[in-house]
Structures are given as structure tokens and as C-alpha cells.
Amino acid sequence: MTNPSDQQKQGSGHGQLEQTIHTDFKQDMTYGDYLQLDKVLSSQTRLSDHHDEMLFIIIHQVSELWMKQILHELSAAMTSIQEGQLEPAFKMFSRVSRIQQQLIKSWDVLSTLTPAEYMQFRDKLGHSSGFQSYQNRLIEFTLGYKNSHVLAVYEHQPELHGLLKQTLEAPSIYDAAIKAMAERGLPVDEACLERDWSQSYVANESVERAWLTVYRDVNQYWDLYELAEKLVDIASQQQQWRFNHMTTVERIIGQKPGTGGSSGVGYLRRALDHRFFPELWSLRTQL
């Protein structure tokens, strides 16, 4: 004889809902309501009838969402460092590194788009280009790679132009890290602590010496040491993202110019020459 409770278990295994599952949403918020999925999932508007344009749109939209989260984490990490609370920033930096891994892997998905397929809808993009991603610019500015010339791309959007200009002219997260070392008594040239923040950071010998002190006495400066290694993680992932971007573009369009007017692969290759947080790399030779 079958126990009623056994019958209930068997029934739940054949598509029946558990009795405690909520099904009346006339007055309650649903999962879709919370995430505003009606807006998110209706934002993939193809300009051609080509099947693969959907992939192209979704890859870039998802990347922009991840970039939004990166900026959210970097902003909070910057505040923590400026307030002298380094350890909370470590979790934020770890999350940024994990997100960067997702962005790096996204190029593998996009690389399934062949040149012949992309050419079927590329002309529909006009002059729109990933070069114009303002969130990517904000990430670069926040990490210390400054370039005032790119602001011209955003002059038609005053509010956005203002946000980019503000970030350009503010200290980067590496500037905050250097200041944190100085506040701990490590000697750093005044020129590194008060400078034109709108200029890309240039390696400084006093900063390298300060980081060397940190790395040679990890027990005394553990939090600064951990901060440095988290920054190296982010710098390494950012370079990997750039490299995968370049190789994916070359795989799909070869040496053609970008839709936004850049030289395409040539421009992306030159960007690889820039290194974030230079002393954190050069000190490894000195240790």
C-alpha cells in the first residue's frame, strides 16, 4: 500500500508544483518585474534580417552590463582606499577580476561569427563602434589610462561628456594606492601626489622603491602588498581582454578599418603597448 506522503513526492516528480510555491501575482512583484525583463529582452533590435546579428547585439549588450558592474565595484573600492580601509576593497577587486574573465570569454563566443556572416550586416552599423563605449573609457580612466582626445567622440552628449571629463580629471585608483603608501610613511615624490590627473600615469622611481619596500616586508605591509597583487590581477586581465579583442577583430574583419573610423586591428595592437600600474611589473625584476 502506498503512503500518501509517497504519492505526494511522486506527484511532485511528474510536473506538479509544490504546494508552497506562490502562483498568484496579481498584487505581487515577479522575477521579470524585478529585473525589468520586458525592457531588457525587447532591446535587441536587429537592423538586418541576418540571423547572426542577434549574437552581435547580445554580446555587446552583455559586455556593457558587466562593465557597469566593474565601474560599480571600482567606485566602491576607490572610496575604501581613500578612507584608509584597504581590506574591503580586496573583495571588490576580486569580483572585478572574475567579471573580466567573463568579458574575456565573451570573445570566444563572438569568434563563432565568420567574416562572410558579419559582412551581411556590417554596413547597417554605420559609424557606430565599440570604440565609442563610454563605459570602457570610464574603466580605462579609472585605472589610470587617460586620453583627453577621445572626449571629442562624446561632445554630442553633454551629460556624458561631463561625466567622462570629470573622471579624466580625477585621481585614478592607482593614484589612490600610491597615496595610501605615502600615508603609511613610505617616501613618494610629491610630484606623484599632486599632479595633473588628466594625464596618463608615468612610472616614477620613488614609487617603485616604495612598492619594493612593501614586497620585501610583507608582514609589516600586508594590506598594501595584497592591494598591489589585486591591482596586478586586474591589469593582467585587462591586457588579456584587449588581446582577445584584437585577435577576434582580426579574425572577423582582417585589417579593415573599424566602423567608427579607427584603423581597426592596428589601433587595438597599439593599445597593447600601454601597461597599467607600471611599477608593479618592473619591481619584479628588482626583487
pLDDT score of 14 more than 80: no
* Calculated CA dihedral for residues 119, 121, 124, 130, nearest 10 degrees: -70
More confident residue, 267 or 53: 53
Using one digit for the tens of pLDDT, what is the confidence trace for 48-59?
A: 999 999 999 999
C-alpha to C-alpha distances, 171 to 72, 143, 245, nearest whole angstrom: 16, 9, 27
Closest CA to 168 of 205, 142, 194: 142
Distance CA 175, CA 172 (A): 5
- Read off the pLDDT of each residue in 35-41 and give the average, rounded to a whole number: 97
Q: What percent of the chain has pLDDT over 70?
A: 95
pTM given for the model:
0.92
60 is in an annotated binding site: yes
Closest CA to 103 of 257, 243, 225, 286: 243
Q: State the cell numbers at 67.
A: 562593465
- Read off the pLDDT of each residue in 29-48 and give the average, rounded to a whole number: 96
245 is in an annotated binding site: yes
In our burial notation (b when 16+ CB lie closer than 10 A, e otherwise), range 136-148 reads bbbbbbbbbbbee
Which 3 state secondary structure label does DSSP give 37?
Answer: helix
Using one digit for the tens of pLDDT, what is the confidence trace for 117-134?
A: 999 999 999 999 998 999
pLDDT score of 12 more than 90: no
118 is in an annotated binding site: yes
Which 3 state secondary structure label does DSSP give 66?
Answer: helix
pLDDT score of 4 more than 80: no
86, 227 contact by CB (below 8 A): yes
For the four alpha carbons of 267, 272, 273 and 279, in that order, the dihedral sign comes to positive
122 is in an annotated binding site: yes
Q: State the cell numbers at 236.
A: 593582467
CATH placement of domain 52-117+134-285: 1.20.58.480
58 is in an annotated binding site: yes
Using one digit for the tens of pLDDT, what is the confidence trace for 215-245?
A: 999 999 999 999 999 999 999 999 999 999 9
pLDDT score of 7 more than 70: no
